Chain A
Amino acid sequence: MPFQELDHTADVLIRVNAPDIPSLFTEAATAMFSLITSNRNDDGIVRRVSLEGESNEDLLYDFLAELLFIAEVDRLIFSAVTVEISENSLHAVARGEVFEPARHAGAMEIKGISYSGMNIREGKDGYQVDILFDV
């Protein structure tokens, strides 16, 4: 299980695990969209994201916020995300489909990504991060 939902009363708290940092970002992004809706397809719609940040945490926050922004203004749902990170730069490709009110009825709205507790930890099996979404 690349991510699990931890108990949080008001919002949604997830724990993401991955063997390396780029896949941690990939898992975090796909987890975010799986929280939004379970109906997700790759219909060949592609968006690219390039960012710079001082730390991996900064990059992760900006990356997730940017995907939320694109998904909302372009009315898209992403289902597959690939990420490359070198030094302080991130390049990602997100694939997905057009948001359809009927098919995606009951989707969850994520208002924002919190900084609270967002620390990327390295363990013997790779990397782990907890992310709290305001919903």
Chain B
Amino acid sequence: MIAGIRRVGPVEWEIPVGFIEGMRVPGTFYLSESLAATLEEGAVRQLANVATMPGIVGRALAMPDVHWGYGFPIGGVAAFGQENGVISPGGVGFDINCGVRLIATPLTVHDLGKMKELVNALFSTVPTGVGAQRTGRLSGTELEAILATGASWAVEAGFGIPGDIIRCEEGGCMEGALPEEVSQKARQRGMPQSGTLGSGNHFLEVQVVAEVIDEEAAAAFGVARDQICFMVHCGSRGLGHQVCTDYLKVLEAATKKYGIMLPDRQLACAPLTSKEAERYFGAMAAAANYAWANRQIITHMAREVFSKHFGIEYEEMPLVYDVAHNVAKFEEHHVEGRRMRLCVHRKGATRAFGPGSSDIPQTLASIGQPVIIPGSMGSSSFLLKGTANAMERTFGSTCHGAGRVSSRSKAKKNLDGSIIKEMLAKRGIVVKATSNAVIAEEAPEVYKPSSEVVAVVHQAGLSMEVARLEPLGVIKG
């Protein structure tokens, strides 16, 4: 282990105050022994940097899929007090409200015919990869409505069913969105990209529920063993990227204006009470709404494909849940016996609210929030439930995915996408991507095993396993 970090529990490691100059709180990593062996110095330094930020409450936290990013480490969580804290785009990232959703179908593994045909139909229907656009471009008025109301706009426009909204984090619409703070440039990028999957690690995957670990929770969430589901992983596309690009500059100016000292320029931030913070939050929330509408439109396209392919009704494919894993939000949490309103940043981390929370669907109040952890291509994905323990220890947060262990350039150099595709096909997984290079970059071996990451959050009690899903067909940009 990296010098200066100490183990404080079976899956808990601490960076003490003083590890770097200016730390206001300690940092905590949730890692197993074997995951700790892959921890990068860059990620440790970045978590320590976060701990220096003004108004940080409790601890700077990192989930077991932590890795070296920019600004916050990926897998980083930090909460800031409303009166004396800050907001930073470095704690959210460029892909605002990158997230994942799981949709159930009435099919079981025995109803499936040739997966290749289904995957081809999904690939030709859902715009995928760089430069892909959806037919039926948005009007300026429609984009405005999306920025203000998110998934609700999509459902009202015929891209879903009312039940979808209830099963989205925040009801698929962040309060406090200020569309007027989203630049013309961001709008220009967002206009043709609504309802597109994007590229990189984003995907649409057909999955089977291979194992149910918690029967009661699985039944409440609406999944059962052998059931066919599909999962959508994407974010706010160029619109969100541009909002981050625009506001990094605004917040950097604010950092200087308010005399905030930071160890990394990418942590540029503004006091939550400032005009700059209000503007960034408003634009970020609007971009988050765009992402929810985006996932909703993709869901609609995939439902139509399933409907046509299998002769099943659209309404027979309910949304299990939709989570955001790159976002900052105002939430109330108990801190040292006090109820506090905090700005919680989750960058590559998922909200995991426990039973009784008023922010989760009423029908799931006794169970906890569904948490969706996508696997890397070819590996298991998981459905988990939020816990009271997460509320106490991590501001109701858990991991978000597998976490990379090897760079894209190394993967492209050392791995052959066509061979990986064949190997996955032998395991019964059909992959359709815009190129073999994308398959090599996202190969299963460049990620930490998702099962190991999930085992840590389960052991730490940050979220508990409900079901394991295995991939059958994947489309990727």
Contact = CB atoms under 8 A, between A and B. Distances in A.
Interface of A: 5, 7-12, 36, 61-62, 65, 69, 72-73, 75, 99, 101, 104-109, 111-116, 118, 132, 134-135
A109 B200 contact: yes
A7 B40 CA distance: 12
B71 A114 contact: yes
Contacts of B264: 115-116
B265 A116 contact: yes
B301 to A, nearest CB: 18
Given A12-B407, A114-B70, 15 more contacts: A12-B408, A12-B409, A69-B185, A72-B238, A101-B129, A104-B130, A105-B129, A106-B436, A106-B437, A107-B131, A108-B199, A109-B198, A115-B248, A115-B252, A116-B70
B85 interface: no
B250 to A, nearest CB: 13
A105 B242 CA distance: 23
Q: Which of B71, B129, B406, B408 has the most CB of A within 10 A?
A: B408
Contact of B74 (A10, A72, A73, A111): A10
A79 B410 CA distance: 24
Contacts of B132: 101
* Majority DSSP secondary structure for residues of A touching B: loop
Contact of A134 (B94, B198, B405, B477): B94
A11 B70 CA distance: 9
Nearest to A14: B409
B127 to A, nearest CB: 10
30 contacts: A9-B68, A9-B404, A9-B405, A9-B407, A10-B67, A10-B74, A10-B404, A12-B407, A69-B242, A72-B189, A72-B238, A73-B188, A99-B131, A101-B129, A105-B435, A106-B434, A106-B435, A106-B438, A107-B130, A107-B131, A107-B199, A112-B94, A112-B244, A114-B71, A115-B70, A116-B71, A116-B264, A116-B265, A118-B265, A135-B408
B16 interface: no
Contacts of B265: 115-116, 118
Contacts of A113: 245
A106 B94 CA distance: 21
A9 B129 contact: no
Interface residues of B, number: 46
A113 B409 CA distance: 18
B38 to A, nearest CB: 9
Interface in B433-473: 433-438
Given A8-B407, A12-B409, A105-B129, A111 B241 contact: yes
Given A11-B70, A75-B131, A134 B93 contact: yes
A61 B71 CA distance: 16
B69 interface: yes
A114 B405 CA distance: 20
A10 B70 CA distance: 10
B266 interface: yes
Contacts of A101: 129, 131-132
A61 B69 CA distance: 18
B243 to A, nearest CB: 10
